[in-house]
Amino acid sequence: MLQIKNLNVHYGVIHALKDVNLTVNKGEIVTLIGANGAGKTTTLRTISGLNKATSGDIILEGTNITNLLAHQRVEMKVSQVPEGRRIFPEMSVLENLELGAFLRKDKNEIKKDIDHVYDLFPILGKRKKQTAGTLSGGEQQMLAMGRALMSRPKILLLDEPSMGLAPLLVREIFEIIKNINSTGTTILLVEQNARMALSIAHRAYVIETGSIVLSGTGEELSKSDEIQKAYLGGE
């Protein structure tokens, strides 16, 4: 589904990503874990076209998308749920969802997809006329995920979906991520909660200071002494 080859990204003189290689196969949940500032968000933003690659290739289903604009990548069914949710606070829940489908013309299908989002997140259906800024943090995260699904992505990029949420809500969000994946959406997940991320990931990569330093199945990495010490509280 997605192949990243020797990806380099610079912020001015800062070399943020260094020869990153990463693969996401169709139907997988792949997670990218690492400390703050390691390059996780930069990786996602470069895949979705918000950051420009200095060199390297981003290949989606055999097509090189490295130089496409962000909206062209959305047309190719790449969708990102940004860190911090970035919902439109003055608009209603329904209007936020409709904006997620702004490139689509199939009005009847859009209606079906809105109903599908309400099935996934029943609370959003109850709050559809409410302004998004008045929702709780967990509800805003659900809305950000629902909005991203409105473009019918083949691959969904999730940036820190559990950030700032109570433990009970974190579990709920991760169950929903598994549910979205089970309906056929491929997922690349960036997450600081390494334990939860590894528990649902088919495969995982560890990034440190812009370089991939480790990869394996979610289970393998969750059992690795190195990962236990660095990210799982040293059990």
pLDDT in tens, the chain (235 residues): 999 999 999 999 999 999 999 999 999 999 999 988 899 999 999 999 999 999 999 999 999 999 999 999 999 999 999 887 788 989 999 999 998 888 778 888 888 899 999 998 999 999 999 999 899 888 998 999 999 999 889 999 999 998 888 888 889 889 999 999 998 999 999 988 888 999 999 999 999 999 999 999 998 998 888 887 777 664 4
Q: Is residue 140 part of a domain?
A: no
Q: Is residue 178 part of a domain?
A: yes
With beta carbons less than 8 A apart as the criterion, state whether 174 and 196 touch. yes
With beta carbons less than 8 A apart as the criterion, state whether 139 and 199 touch. no
Whole-number Cα distances in Å, 39 to 17, 144, 209, 215: 6, 22, 7, 15
Q: Is residue 139 part of a domain?
A: no
Q: Is residue 76 part of a domain?
A: yes
Q: How many structural domains comprise the chain?
A: 1
Q: Is residue 15 part of a domain?
A: yes
Domain ranges, residue 44: 2-86+153-231
Contacts of 2 by beta carbon, 8 Å cutoff, 6+ apart: 22, 23, 24, 47, 58, 59, 60, 61, 155, 186, 188
Q: Return the pLDDT at 228.
A: 79
With beta carbons less than 8 A apart as the criterion, state whether 6 and 55 touch. yes
Q: Is residue 198 part of a domain?
A: yes
Q: Return the pLDDT at 235.
A: 41
CATH number for 178: 3.40.50.300
Going 198 to 58 to 76 to 46, the CA torsion angle's sign is: positive
Q: Return the pLDDT at 167.
A: 86
Whole-number Cα distances in Å, 120 to 113, 115, 204: 10, 9, 25
With beta carbons less than 8 A apart as the criterion, state whether 148 and 80 touch. yes
Whole-number Cα distances in Å, 35 to 89, 130, 180: 29, 36, 26
| CA-wise closest residue to 48 among 190, 205, 210 | 190
Q: Is residue 101 part of a domain?
A: no
Q: Token pair for residue 221?
A: 């990495």
Q: Is residue 190 part of a domain?
A: yes
Sheet-wide strand order for 2-11:
14-24, 2-11, 55-60, 63-64
